[in-house]
Chain A
Amino acid sequence: MAKINFNNKSKVIIVYVEIKIKDRMARLKMALDTGATYIMIPWDVAETLGLEPGLSKEKTEMITVSGVEKTPIVTLEAVSVAGNEIRNIKALVHDLPPKSYVDGLLGLSFLKNFNIYFNFEQGFLELTRQKL
């Protein structure tokens, strides 16, 4: 079980997410979003890590507040939050607006592997890996 502190005064819950592709690692701040189907990463991060979202054959229609758009899906070799690693995880490639102040979303493609306890009063959450 991993305990992660967050700012309970903030508008969103922000956590550090490690994305590993081959021998490179990106550490990004993401908003934890139980309403998002997938992890979402920016185009530039995907390309920096050697992914080619523009060539991805897998796409999905993404429903946003501004409409519906086709968005590529890539597979991330490993994603880790507070030492909890999930391998071969799907992610959408899409840029959030700069005023979101985060690089992406930590969605259900990662979160569903855990049972999560939120303590908003004290500002922490606990991730417990589900038993397979």
Chain B
Amino acid sequence: MKIEEIKKKYKDEWVLIDVTKSDELGQPLEGNVITHSRNRDDTYAAMKQTKTKDFAHFYTGEIPEESYAVAF
């Protein structure tokens, strides 16, 4: 499945995928969804179980722009 399709299908969720295709910058282009959840702990738990050699983990939504600031 293409990354753009994954983002649409699992909007505003954390997604763990087995990467099957990436671009020259290392960004995943296509992959098989291993799991998805609104709770990041769920996708992290699945990550520890997976044996895949090349995986990607990301949030599909955008960081809220209103009333929100980030300080690490």
Question: Is the pair A16, B27 in contact by a Cβ cutoff of 8 Å?
Answer: yes
Question: Is the pair B24, A83 in contact by a Cβ cutoff of 8 Å?
Answer: yes
Give the number of A-B contacts (CB < 8 Å): 85
Question: Is the pair A10, B59 in contact by a Cβ cutoff of 8 Å?
Answer: no
Question: Is the pair A105, B72 in contact by a Cβ cutoff of 8 Å?
Answer: yes
Q: Is B50 an interface residue (CB 8 A)?
A: yes
Tell me how many residues of B have a C-beta within 8 Å of chain A.
32
Q: Is B56 an interface residue (CB 8 A)?
A: yes
Q: Report the Cα distance A10→B68, complex, angstroms.
A: 11
Q: Is A28 an interface residue (CB 8 A)?
A: yes
Question: Is the pair A11, B65 in contact by a Cβ cutoff of 8 Å?
Answer: yes
B14 to chain A, nearest CB (A): 8
Tell me how many residues of A have a C-beta within 8 Å of chain B.
38
> Cβ of A10: which chain B residues have Cβ within 8 Å of it?
62-63, 65
CB contact list, A100-120 vs B, under 8 A: 100-103, 105
Question: Is the pair A48, B27 in contact by a Cβ cutoff of 8 Å?
Answer: no
Q: Report the Cα distance A11→B69, complex, angstroms.
A: 7
Q: Report the Cα distance A101→B44, complex, angstroms.
A: 14
> Cβ of A27: which chain B residues have Cβ within 8 Å of it?
19, 22, 26-28, 54-57
Q: Which residues of A contact B (CB under 8 A)?
A: 2, 4, 7, 9-12, 14, 16, 18, 23-29, 31, 33, 35-36, 42, 44-45, 47-48, 65, 80-83, 96, 98, 100-103, 105
